[in-house]
Amino acid sequence: MIIREATHDDVPAIAKVHVDTWRSTYKGIVPDEYLASLSYERREKNWHQIFNNSLENGDFTYVAEEKSGQIIGFANGGLERTGDSVYKGELNAIYILQSSQRKGVGRKLFSTVIEKLNQIDIHSMLVWVLDDNFACRFYEALGGKRVYDKQLEIGGVMLTAVAYGWTDIKNLSYI
């Protein structure tokens, strides 16, 4: 497996991973009707917008690719989106196909985001995750501290999102 910077050509594969992972990860958390309504085409459009705006907003995306060339996961990060006074960087998204989870892919993508943030002189980070998501344990194992929570409406249901924060990522490495 290799981790590399994503390109516009990767958008269809990123969109597929994004939708498929939402459907497997959030089953039982997010309403089934909402998950069924997700589409690869709409997600592709969203990802093209993200890529088109990445230069001006400082976002970056990496993919995890198997030797066969199949993209099995991705991570997107950049500047923290709300102007938080403590956390300057943000892991906006990290998704790995269910069949590739618990094999170190998430740790490698997470470390790559941290390396990139450090390169652009950002040394603190947070990530938002739904409170009922098993990924909470992943972030806790990586030293993240629960720092905020907020209510989100997804598919007509109110859910709690939790922010995990790292105040100093200068010397973090999880690979």
Q: φ, ψ for residue 94 (rounded to 5)?
A: -150, 120
Beta-carbon contacts of 171 under 8 Å, excluding residues fewer than 6 positions away, are none
Torsion of CA 119, 97, 100, 144, to 10 degrees: 50
All structural domains of the chain, each given as residue ranges with its CATH number in brackets, are 2-122 (3.40.630.30)
Helix (H) or strand (E) holding 73: strand 71-79
| pLDDT tens over the chain, length 175 residues | 999 999 999 999 999 999 999 999 999 999 999 999 999 999 999 999 999 988 788 899 999 999 999 999 999 999 999 999 999 999 999 999 999 888 999 999 999 999 999 999 999 999 999 998 989 999 999 999 999 999 999 999 999 999 999 999 987 766 4
Q: In 3-state terms, what secondary structure has residue 116?
A: helix
State the pTM of this model: 0.93
Q: For residues 107 and 110, what is the distance between their CA atoms, to the nearest angstrom? A: 5
DSSP three-state, residue 8? helix
Dist CA 57 CA 90 (whole Å): 12
